[in-house]
Amino acid sequence: MTTQDQTEAALWICLQQIHGLGGQGICKLLQHFGSPENIFEASHQALNRIVPETITGAIKQGPNIEDTALALKWLEKDNNHLITLADTHYPQSLLEIPDPPPVLYAKGDLSCLAMPAIAIVGSRNASVQGEDNAKEFAYALSEQGFCIISGMALGIDAAAHRGALKNKQGKTIAVVGTGLDIVYPAQHRELAHQIVDQGLVISEFPIGTPSRPENFPRRNRMISGLSLGCLVVEANTKSGSLMTAKLAAEQGREVFAIPGSIHSPLSKGCHELIKQGAKLVDCIQDITNELASTSHTS
């Protein structure tokens, strides 16, 4: 990174780290002032028109460059990227959701963000058949030119990534709920390296952010937001993947679900989605045909 690029990156990171501001607050400030530099240079009075006094005070203290040291050191390594709302690499699909993350940390192939994408999600405690289905659908969809997006969790997520990776030309994106210097779950360290080699790992959370329960709903809205549609392979009625499907529907994405036995708890979440209007899927043509018809009518 040049000195200018480093300074600009530091300002974005400093803005992201202001406690209580959040993504929506940053977007409001950017709409008004245009850039992080302008925000930090704005008058107290001008800032107070947009954000509360406590946040104005934090901004007027100026950017704390020391707080960005960890991220800037991470950015010096090969294949590590900072993507902001001002960047051409920022995914257009995320700009369509209500609360796009202003700053993204990414490791791997940024061209994945420009590909048509399908999210594949489901239970962490998946059955063998469920994992096989996730792998097969991911492989077949990747052969059709779709990037496969999931959350690198145990079970269906990992199987979906592995299915895409099985296709040597396949691409996959893992959206994670930690900083990119942390692999969670730890047993997916090798999988994370494979994804970086053949795709992309991405997060909106600053470097050094550990795994926290509240991070994962935010991660889920990015999984759905980056995708044209969301396929739920296997899920019980309390699965977090149902939240991803709900977010996908709210974002105007297509929702697909694979049915299963009426006696299996891991099918009940998918059956519930189908009752609510999700497309029942038993082959990839159910997905590709639906997406084709949607694109023709939109």
Q: Is 125 exposed, middle or buried (0-12, 13-18, 19+ CB in 10 A)?
A: middle
- The structural domain count of the chain equals 2
pLDDT at 1: 55
Same structural domain for residues 147 and 222? yes
The secondary structure element, H or E, covering residue 51 is none
pLDDT at 297: 47
Is 264 within a domain? yes
Residue-number span of the structural domain to which 60 is assigned: 3-76
pLDDT at 110: 97
- Which tokens go with 75? 């950015």
* pLDDT tens per residue across span 115-170: 999 999 999 999 999 999 999 999 999 999 999 999 999 999 999 999 999 999 99
Residues of the chain with pLDDT under 50: 296-298
The two counts, helices (H) then strands (E), for the chain are: 14, 9
pLDDT at 84: 95
| Mode of pairing for the β-strands spanning 103-108 and 200-203 | antiparallel
Same structural domain for residues 128 and 234? yes
pLDDT at 62: 72
Is 90 within a domain? no
Same structural domain for residues 202 and 115? yes
User: CB of 40 within 8 A of CB of 13?
Assistant: no
pLDDT at 5: 80
Same structural domain for residues 119 and 193? yes
Same structural domain for residues 168 and 219? yes
pLDDT at 7: 85
pLDDT at 258: 98
